[in-house]
Structure 1
Amino acid sequence: MIRACFFTLAILSALWIPSAEALKSDRDQPALIEADEVEMDFSSGRRIYRGNVSVKQGTIRIIANEIELFYEGEQLDKAIAKGNPAVFRQRPDDKPHDVIGQGLTIELDEIRNVVTFIEQAKVRQGGDAISGETIEYDMAKDKMKVRGHTVTTKAPKKTAGNPDFKTAGNSQDDSSRPRIVIQPRKDQEAKNSSTKAASDPARSPSQPKAPSTNPSSLTGKTGFQPAYVGKGGASVHASRSQASAVIGKLSHGDPVKVVASDGGWFKVNTPLGVAVWIYGQFVTGSSGTGEVSGNNVRLRSVPSTGKDSVVVGSLNRGTAVRVLQVRGDWKQITPPIDFGFWVPASKINPLEHASADWLGDWQASLRRSGVTD
C-alpha cells in the first residue's frame, strides 16, 4: 500500500472519457483533479482520493469527500464517489441544461456507461427534478430508473443552498492541495507525431516506402495510400507493439488502405480479417447489420474487462457495424471500414497509386465482408 499527496497516474483520465451523453468536446479537454490525499494499492488495483475531491473535464464536474477507483489490470472497471452529498454534473448532447445528480454514494459503471445515485438521491435537469432512494441514470440511452419513494417536482431556482458545486471546502484557493492536469490523448499523439525523425534516405529498395502521417498529403486527395499485404500475411495489433494484443490476421494479397505510419508501423483500413468485441447493450441486433446506440462506446480485444482485455478504440451513436456473434453480454463485430488498425510496415507493400487491379480487389473484399465503404 502506498500513500501519497500527489497524483502520478496518467491513466486516471480513462475514467472520464467514456461518458456517453456528454458533449463530444468533453473527451478532448484536460482533466483537472484535486484532493487532499491519494492512496494507491497496486496489488488490488484500487485508488482512493480523499478530502474535498474535485474533478473537472469539459462539462463534467464531480464533487465528493472520497472517490475510489477499481481497475482490472490497466482498465478502469468502476468508480465510487461518497459525500454528504456527492454531486455529479454533466451536459448531455443537444440539451440546453446540465444533468445534476446527488447522493450519499454515486457509482459510475465504466462498462455500462451508467451512473447510480444511492441514498437521498436527487437528479434534476432544467426545471424538472426527481428524488428517490436510488436513481440509475443510463447515459447511453438518456433514461432513468428510480427505486424507493419517488417525488417528482419542478426544480427550484439556484440559491446559495443548492448543491451547485460551491460546497464548503471546495471553493478555496489552496496552492498546497495536490492537483494534476491530465492532457487528452490526441494532444500527446500530436506532440509525438511532430517530434518523429525524418525518413532515412538510405533505405534499402526492398523496404516499403512509408506514407506520410498526414492523411491529406497521401495519394492525391484520397487521404490514403493503396497497398497489398505481403508474403506470409500480417498480424493486426491493438497498438504499435509486437507485444500488444493480436486482434486479426490479414492474408497475402489482401488490399488495404494505409492512412498513417509511425515507427515502423502502418495504420490501415481493411474490411477483412479483423473482429473486435463491444458490450452488447450498445449494439442493435444479434446478427447481420447492427447500429451503435451510445457515444464513445469502447471496443475491446476480448469479450471481458479483465487483465487480458485491451481497448482498441471507440464508436459513436449511429455507426453501422456487422454483428458476427453473441457471447454472454458481449457481441463480436466487424468495425466500419474507416476504423484504423496497426500492422508492421514490413508486412505491407504500398503502391504508388490506386491501380485498376487494386480498385477491383478492394471492391471485391468489401463484397466478401459485407462492409460498405
Structure 2
Amino acid sequence: MFMVLGLLASVPAQKNKPSARDRPVEMTARGGLTVDLKRNLGLAKGDVVIRRDDVLVCCDEAEAKYAGDKVERITCRGRVVILRPDGTSASADVAIFEAVRDKLELKGRARVQGRGTDLSGDQIIYDVARDQLEVVGSRSRFKFVPGDMGPPAPLRPCPPPDPPRAEATSKPTAAQRPAPGSAPESKAK
C-alpha cells in the first residue's frame, strides 16, 4: 500500500525508467501509521514524510485510498510541501492525487515554483499525463524570470524521521541515592 504513496507527485513516464508504482517508497510519521484492510485505507499522522528517489512529500497527515495494489486517491493535509531533485517545489494546505484522472490538485495557498516560474493561486491542478498546470481562483498569479533556472525560494524543511529511542537503563548515581540509614524523602503537599 505504501508503495503507491509516491504517486503523489509523479511525472510522465520516461523511456527505460520504471514507473512510479515500481519504485520503492518510504513513509514515516511521528504520530503513527494505520492501515485499515477492510476499508482499503492507509492513514499517517504527525510530520508525515514520504520519500521516493524522484520526490519528497511532507505534510501534517496523509490518507491513501486503494483497491488491491492500485491507489485510487491520496490526500495530504496541513503544510503540504512537495520537493523534486530538479529544484521544482510545490506547497499548499491540501494536496489530492487522483490516480484514475492522473491529476494532482493543490488547494489553499497553492504554489508551484521552479525553472524560472512561480505560479500561485487558490487552487492549482496539475495534469500529469499532459504535463499541464492550471491555476484556478480569484487571485491567480504567474511570474516568469527569463534565464532564472536557479532553485525556488526555500520552503519549510521536512522534519527528519525520529531517531530510535534509547531505553532508560541508567542507575542512580551516588549523589542521587539516599545515604545509608536515612529515611527516604517524603513528598509533602
- TM-score, L = length of structure 1: 0.38
Residue 75 in structure 1 maps to residue 67 in structure 2:
no
Give the % identical residues: 19
What are the Cα deviations for residues 115-137 of structure 1, in whole angstroms up to 9, with x where unaligned? 11000000112221010000001
Gaps of 5+ in 2: 166-189
Provide the residue aligned with 2:80 in structure 1. Answer: 86
Q: Alignment length, in residue pairs?
A: 156
Provide the residue aligned with 1:34 in structure 2. Answer: 28
Provide the residue aligned with 2:172 in structure 1. Answer: none
Amino acid at match of 1:30: P
How far residue 113 of structure 1 moved from its aligned partner, in angstroms, is 1.6
What are the Cα deviations for residues 64-84 of structure 1, in whole angstroms up to 9, with x where unaligned? 11000112344321000012x
RMSD: 2.7
Residue 162 in structure 1 maps to residue 151 in structure 2:
no
What are the Cα deviations for residues 169-215 of structure 1, in whole angstroms up to 9, with x where unaligned? x0365224xxxxxxxxxxxxxxxxxxxxxxxxxxxxxxxxxxxxxxx
CA distance in 1 between counterparts of 2:18 and 2:164 reads: 28
- TM-score, L = length of structure 2: 0.70
Greater share of helix? 1
Provide the residue aligned with 2:56 in structure 1. Answer: 61
Gaps of 5+ in 1: 1-10, 92-96, 177-373
Amino acid at match of 2:4: A
CA distance in 1 between counterparts of 2:88 and 2:19 reads: 15
CA distance in 2 between counterparts of 1:99 and 1:78 reads: 23
How far residue 39 of structure 1 moved from its aligned partner, in angstroms, is 2.0
CA distance in 2 between counterparts of 1:31 and 1:172 reads: 14
Assess, with a 3 A threshold, how the Cα gap between structure 1 residues 17 and 153 changes in structure 2: closer, same or farther. closer
Counterpart contact for 1:81–1:106, Cα < 8 Å: yes
Provide the residue aligned with 2:171 in structure 1. Answer: none
Assess, with a 3 A threshold, how the Cα gap between structure 1 residues 25 and 45 changes in structure 2: closer, same or farther. closer
How far residue 26 of structure 1 moved from its aligned partner, in angstroms, is 6.8
CA distance in 1 between counterparts of 2:69 and 2:100 reads: 14
Residue 151 in structure 1 maps to residue 141 in structure 2:
yes
CA distance in 2 between counterparts of 1:112 and 1:98 reads: 25
SS at match of 1:16: helix
